[in-house]
Structure 1
Amino acid sequence: MHTYLRINKIIACTLICFATCIWLQNAKAQSRQPKFKVIAFYTGKDDKAHISFVHEANKWFPRMAAKYNFSYDSTKNWNNMNAEFLSHYQVVLFLDTRPDAPDQRAAFEKYMKNGGAWMGFHFSAFALTPSAFNQDWDWYHNEFLGSGQYVSNIWRPSAAILDIDNQFAATKNIPSKFKSAPNEWYRWENDLRKNPDIQILASIDSASFPLGTGPKQSEIWHSGYYPVVWTNKKYKMIYMNMGHNDIDYEHKTDKDLSLTFANETESKMILDALLWLGGQKVSGK
Structure 2
Amino acid sequence: MEDRMKRLVLAALALAGAADALADSQFKLLVLAMPGKYHYEYIPIARDSLEKLGKLHSFDVTYTHRPEAFDGDLREYAAVMFLNTPGEELNPAQRAKFEAYMKGGGNAIVVHRAAITPPDAWLWYEKLVGRRVGVHPMLQTGVITIADKGFPATFGLPERWIWSDEFYVTTNPYNVTIQPVLNVDESSYDPTKIWPGQVARGMGRDHPVAWYHRVEQGRVFVTTLGHNGEMYRDPQYLGHLMGGIYWAATGMGQSGR
Q: TM-score, normalised by structure 1?
A: 0.71
Match of 2:92 in 1: 102
**Cα shift readout 1:59-99 (whole Å, capped 9, x = no counterpart):** 100111111111111112212213x4312211111112223
Task: Name the structure 1 match of 2:160.
Answer: 177
Cα deviation per residue 1:77-136 (whole Å; 9 max; x = unaligned)? 212213x4312211111112223311111111111121111111111121235xxxxx31
Which residue is 1:251 aligned to? none
Give the direction of change, closer, same or farther, for the CA distance of 1:81–1:121 in structure 2 (3 Å limit).
Answer: same
* Residues in 2 aligned to 1:64 and 1:152: alpha-carbon distance in whole angstroms: 32
Matched residue type, 2:239 = K
Quote the residue 1:64 is aligned against.
53
Counterpart Cα distance in 2 of 1:273 and 1:41: 16
**Per-residue deviation, 1:231:** 1.1
1:188 equivalent in alignment to 2:157: no
Segments of 5+ residues of structure 1 without an aligned counterpart are 1-21, 130-134, 246-255
User: Are 1:147 and 2:123 an aligned pair?
Assistant: no
1:16-35, CA deviations, whole angstroms, 9 ceiling, x for partnerless residues?
xxxxxx9xx79x92785210
1:53 pairs with 38, 42, 45, which one? 42
Q: 183-192 or 113-122, which moves further after superposition?
A: 183-192
Task: Give the Å deviation of 1:168.
Answer: 3.8
SS at match of 1:43: coil
1:203-222 superposed Cα distances (whole Å, 9 cap, x missing partner)? 11134232575454956766
Greater RCO (CA < 8 Å, at least 6 residues apart): 2
User: Contact conserved, 1:229 with 1:241, CA < 8 A, in 2?
Assistant: yes
CA 1:281 to 1:145, structure 2 compared with 1: closer, same or farther past 3 Å?
closer
Higher strand share: 2
Secondary structure at 1:81 match in 2: helix
Percent identity of paired positions between Structure 1 and Structure 2: 20
Inter-partner Cα distance in structure 1 for 2:113 and 2:196: 21
- What amino acid sits opposite 1:36 in the alignment? F
| 2:43 equivalent to 1:74 | no
Corresponding pairs, count? 234
Contact 2:135 2:200 in 1 (8 A): no
Separation of aligned partners in 1, 2:109 and 2:81: 5
- Opposite residue 34 of structure 1, the aligned amino acid is S
Query: Is the CA contact (8 Å cut-off) linking 2:27 and 2:249 kept in structure 1?
Result: yes
Query: Which whole-Å CA distance do the structure 2 matches of 1:175 and 1:74 have between them?
Result: 30
Is the CA contact (8 Å cut-off) linking 2:110 and 2:129 kept in structure 1?
A: no
Judge conservation of contact 2:179–2:212 (CA < 8 Å) in 1: yes
1:184: how far off? 1.9
The answer as to whether partners of 1:41 and 1:76 remain within 8 angstroms in 2 is yes
SS at match of 1:243: coil
The root-mean-square deviation of aligned C-alpha atoms, in Å, is 3.0
* Residue 86 (structure 1) aligned with residue 74 (structure 2): yes
Specify the alignment match of 2:246 in structure 1.
275
